[in-house]
Structure 1
Amino acid sequence: MATSQPIGIFDSGYGGLTVMKEILRKLPQYDYVYLGDNARAPYGNRSFETVYRYTLQCVEWFFEQGCPLVILACNTASAKALRTIQQNDLQKLNPNNRVLGVIRPTTEKIGEFTKTNKIGILATSGTVQSGSYTIEIEKFYPRIHVSQEACPIWVPLIENNEHNSPGADYFVKKHLNNILGKEQGIDVLLLACTHYPLLLNKIQQFLPAGITVLSQGEIVADSLVNYLQRHPEIEQRCSRNGERTFYTTDSAEDFDNHASIFFGQPLQSKHLAL
């Protein structure tokens, strides 16, 4: 058994750092290892099979690092790979380990924020095409009507540090107008991509009054606190030295230069060849 047993946090790139930042605020005592698969990003427009294969490979790597718990802090991976990994692969890889995603914690809570029972999902093309949010929300809140809008240009805008530029205005307004035009009375918009919180100020600037915008980081962090309380058999295996290690499958220098935008502070990563 590894002496260090960190909690693994996975994303196709940088976005999962917005989730990790919130998790660290709630649970700073644990060790964490973050992996961004930047060399193969973005996942949002890739097939189910490709996303599953990439995600499984990264989960296997986390388990090799001694992680008893891995969080897929990526909506596309959660939508396209999580269920298959949980049902088909976990028993073979390590039946005592766990892999969790970001979709279920969000859908369990989302009904608490709407008065009209009409919500909008802003996400990558892959997450929208999977229908995962519609399916999961139906389980918990069958009366809620869900409208979805794919925003494929938002991630490149953010990763090229253009999200605060005037040039981003057109694409933010375009997708907000599209989603609000699909259903009268939408009063909650979910940012169902971990990159999108970086556009929050601009999104709110162009929204009419009375619409709540939800980011996932705090919801997922609260859910993890609850999960560890309910599952002491996992919690007790997580090491507590306050250590954070960051890996990227692309250039570590490039990752470090961009990552502080998402993480809120400088960090140093290591290159991982998969």
Structure 2
Amino acid sequence: EAREGTIEGLWKVGDLTRDLRIQSILIPGMGGEPIGRILVFQDITSERELDRAKSALLSAVSHELRTPLAAIKGYTTTLLAEDVDWDPAARREFLQIILEETERLTRLVNNLLDLSRLEAGALVLQRQPYPLEAILARVQRDLRVDSHPISIQLPPDLPPVDVDPARIEVVFRNLLDNAIRYTPPGTPITISATIADGVVVVRVHDEGPGIPPEHRERIFDRFYRIPGHIRSSGAGLGLAICKGFVEAHGGRIWLAEDGPGATFIFTLPTWKDEDGGADFDRG
């Protein structure tokens, strides 16, 4: 008996794999009996990749929420225990851990909100002339990194950048967080900047193992994480948000081909004075 229907499956040719949806539609004759069939082939690879990305996001976010929440609950319960009188040093240590885990939750929630705004086209930039060194000072203060020495190398005549400082702080914070996560403790991280073709070119370099070649093209994809890496954690949102924020400012971001280590490079517009020239005296 002839039937109509829809099936989905994988189509493989060599190294190429695609998700296909095949729909069968009968063509009725004058008497109503089928006289032919139409097969409609639809490539649904993007749709399936989005479904897989959503599943990966839910899994990653669930894990990322569970870890700090467990720490916060555990140390709060410990502090509230009536049968133990903790000394001030121990209480301060527990409270510091609670603070750090709360900040970790805040960053995750902010990343999710930022990604939502970027994808909805609802990101509003509060641009102003701002010295890059001031942005970096705030990032260093908030990160409180003790495990990796951070070197900042900026030329003395670097002009202020025309940016939303809060968004560019997120870019630096995410890049530094990645560098810290994927490199051994004690290895240095270098942030440098130069002027080229009227824009500020920023480099964030670490001396870790670098990004494997097979993952270079996808590292800026949302939800993407390097599989099997012992330090691979997070929801895979950081670099996607970096890309979105930099491009919203009219810049671009990429991974340098040279090694060792990983070097992320991005551009930012310089502040123009009323005459249209770069203002080198601000900040």
TM-score of the aligned structures, taking structure 2 as reference length: 0.22
Q: Greater helix percent: which structure?
A: 1
Greater relative contact order (Cα 8 A, min sep 6): structure 1 or 2? 1
Structure showing greater radius of gyration is: 2
TM-score of the aligned structures, taking structure 1 as reference length: 0.22
